[in-house]
Structure 1
């Protein structure tokens, strides 16, 4: 998974979790945003789960933030799907296509390519599609029969696999990535394991087809072992260890869905923050990729027909005579499927390597071959047009940047909370208000984390993330300082206070009889571990996060690598005045400091040595 799940990710998820999804009932459907949905499913032995479907990311069990009010589309889905039992879930032809079958004969189909599509069918006929399209080989339109984009499984057996490679005019790595549906990273991994150079042509490695096929099947088998490997620099999650990267993964998960959950929670910010113009370029590049693929298919098919000219003319005569005898039925010819014979349009279809190509049985073999090559030229023209469009769009980006002036930095997901990184490297987050207190605990607190709070009005829910880093006493103390500093103790001018920590299992939303728990509040049961005499003193510093300099507020005693910092305590200087002063000292926008300071007034008590030298 690099921004979106691959065919291998789909295979792994269904192989690992498919049995636990079968016989679940769909209880509710939520629309998270324009491209994302949640099917709330229930089965008595596995209870209620959120099955996440994203048209541009993929599938998984993921607790996405649900809207308080149902959209019209989610209401439509609820009417169609609620209380229906799932009797099948499958990947279609090792493609990025998943089909969920219900006991009523209805199907939910996710296509994760291009802009993505979500399709509902009833008895094979399309009754809903997020995006309706007419392709050369199929129609995705209401009332039409659903036909998947690929009609053969490229890794079904060695013969099918070898046939695809034999017909390819691209390099072996491109062929595996696009024609065998492996994607770039897994294609390179398969070649690396088979000890085959990725830039070789398929014709140069014919004697190694078996070795390469075995390498791919080994990877597919490994993907079902319920592991996940995250490579941070590559922004990549994989169900198999990627030996071709030649380094250890940054995080290893012993449950594939835990990896998916982690990736979605840490979804690459550069993707979230792309402008509409940048997304347009990506769409144009995807179109070029699709046009290239089709141009290659039509050129290959044209050459194939040229080499089999007499057989093509014979096929045309057979179909012509069948139509005259009123027997226009599908049949096989030279190991190819002949279908869709249409006497009204004088056309028929040949299934060539998974693509249906339409020919005319009233035209000669030569004219049909010319048509195939002309179609390939049309796609070449479309590629050139799309490339020109990209250049024009790039000019728009330049204009946008000139118009915007100084570019705003990337905002990371955790900045919607108060946050800092402890001396030991743990991420610590605290809510900003009732809504984010609620969201933080529900969405981001895991079983191995620590919950911190203070018995003071306005104290936020604070979570210490484990994420493979041991939570030390030092880190707990820092989190306690953070929690009480963000409470009403700061504007009250209190110099020290008390906070406590508990395990996530002690935190609940279930009240006792007669109690009421408001939004953002939580009930803590069992022993509370108190930390006493906590000093209220914070440090504002500039830290490097993934190449970006961002402001971080933390307890004064938190160790950082930053050379530019300012110490603050509760004081009588207005918050806005203090923010302006700190921003000037650190050389950063005032708005950046405004968003992280605690409530009430503050005073600056000390600067770092570097700042003193500069001043």
Structure 2
């Protein structure tokens, strides 16, 4: 990103980020120094991408979230802090994010740039500790900005592509400065034309053969996601190739060991047979006090405490031991070969592009969501803020509003319900019932009511007050009685993969394999088990990603009632 890009992005997104709380920090997949900040804002949760030396932007794409040592340190330093301000420093490609506890997150977008956390100007963390020519980056030292670079367009933070789009050359420095200043003023005024040329570049102004985007952030996000996919595929392929190489080496060593064990077992059996066939001669050797004998050019060690038959049995027993070792090694060999097959499948998936890791999220995925069996979208609030936002911003008069008949439940909406059936209402009622206090209380069932959006109001009767997240319902309520508290969780597989949740009837039509859960006593362990179940059912190497997605879906402590695995024709009751 150039300074012009950074300026345009900050102008467009500053108000969206200020006031947000940093909920968590992750590393992204196998990409070094790429961080994802989950931030909670008044209008919902957002994902902020930070990559020192490269970029900053919000993202609509799901990624594999991992936890590197750097991400762990960042969590300790900045998690739960509020973003008080964000700005560019000295018209350079440097972002400063001021946090509520006084710390500053500094993201250098210059080549070989760093992500640094400072407290009172002193370095608490950096993605790299190093003595540069002009500054030293070490914990406890005062943070010093990178030196400004010389050069005509570089000093202005303007790449040649923007100069070309503006129709100017670098020959006339005054002309460059004048037109660049005009561009900056337009950007500061919010006059931005987001444009993207896929795989090539993005700019906050129109240029030849570009595609206009809704926002400049979208242009940046869509540009980098393609690069990221390539990097992820390349890195994943390399990791898998390295794993494959190690397994192949292990297989080679095991095969050699098996040959050695079998060869040794055969030698010992041969000796045992020789001793058995020549037991009279062996007895005479033993009586003479000798411990060695030579038959058929084979030198045989004898145990003087055993008879000829006893020595023969001893060698047969030793042969059995080596045969057993060979058998155990065979089992290990088969295990390694199965791992090799799985890695080959993962490599095929990586090349084919079917992935849970990087995909574009639908607009409704910021909320809890489900799709009914007849494909109506159901959305529910994750918290009081989202409940409020759903009614104020999303609910239309002809939408259906649902709520469990219990205090402490998610606002649930069925969008555009024209032609909706009783089956779809029952599917949506599962969501309304499950994401309520009833689940956390361990109830078996709860009533759910529904009304049209036109019956829901934030305006209380005169003299009364409605707390945040509460609404008035006018007119008749329609009840769905005794909605059983259980949910099905499966995978929807197309070009990408996403975790889906809903009634069993709605999920079984979209997911060949799924699990049904109910209120229980475990959260993390249930998420782990569900991740393993779905990963194995679909032969994915993405248990961690699945687990992260499942954690977002679980209504609370849960247990698995049953597993339906139609991919392998095997069903299980738990």
TM-score by length of 1: 0.40
**Which one has more relative contact order, counting CA pairs under 8 Å at least 6 apart?**
2
Of structures 1 and 2, the larger Rg is shown by 2
Give the TM-score taking structure 2 as reference length: 0.43
